Amino acid sequence: MNRSSRLPTSFCSPNGSSRFAPFQRELRKLLLPARARERGSTMLESAVMISVLLVMLFGVIGFGNALYTYHFVSNTAREATRWASVRGSACTGGLSGGCPAAGTDVTAYVQSLSTGIGLDPTKVTTTTTWVAPPNNLPICNSQPNSPGCVVQVQVQYSFQFLFPLLPSGFTMQSTSQMVISQ
């Protein structure tokens, strides 16, 4: 159906030209369906929504990676503390890694845990201290890695988000302590 056929015949001339041509254009705009007037707006709305959804998706992935990294830091601190607590001054030597454990041994153990899991082992920092327990055993002052004393391991990791829209790097840390058993 021709659009001009919808116009009243009083506006049209037989040869197609009319002195009412500007009015005809306005009338056609009014008579066109809404879909034809909004052509292209769907593509614009889709582009905006896809952009928002992609930013949200990358944000979820980035924060998921941060949560994974914090879980690694926390678990590594607990594992290293447990590893050091069974390698005190009374250790018999049947354990791998040497007895008794020194701070460098704990650091080497943490480095061995952090390889092959998708994190950079050079960004892992370990601090091991032997502290006196709340009951202040006298032996803990002279030989801090004796059974009954406390070993404390702090693990830090310099985390960097992969996506530029998220915050820049920050340090994740976890501290664990345990009573030395051997």
Sequence ranges of the domains in the chain: 41-179
Residue 166 has pLDDT above 90, yes or no: no
Residue 168 has pLDDT above 80, yes or no: no
* pLDDT recorded at residue 57: 92
Q: Which two tokens stand for residue 67?
A: 């949560």
* pLDDT recorded at residue 49: 95
Answer for the pair 174, 155: CB distance below 8 angstroms, yes or no. yes
Closest by CA to 153, choosing from 42, 74, 57, is: 74
pLDDT tens across 84-140, in order? 998 888 877 666 667 788 888 899 999 988 887 778 888 999 999 988 887 777 888
Helix H or strand E segment including 29? helix 21-31
pTM score above 0.75: no
Residue 67 has pLDDT above 70, yes or no: yes
Alpha carbon distance, N-terminus to C-terminus of the chain: 95
* pLDDT recorded at residue 2: 54
* pLDDT recorded at residue 157: 93
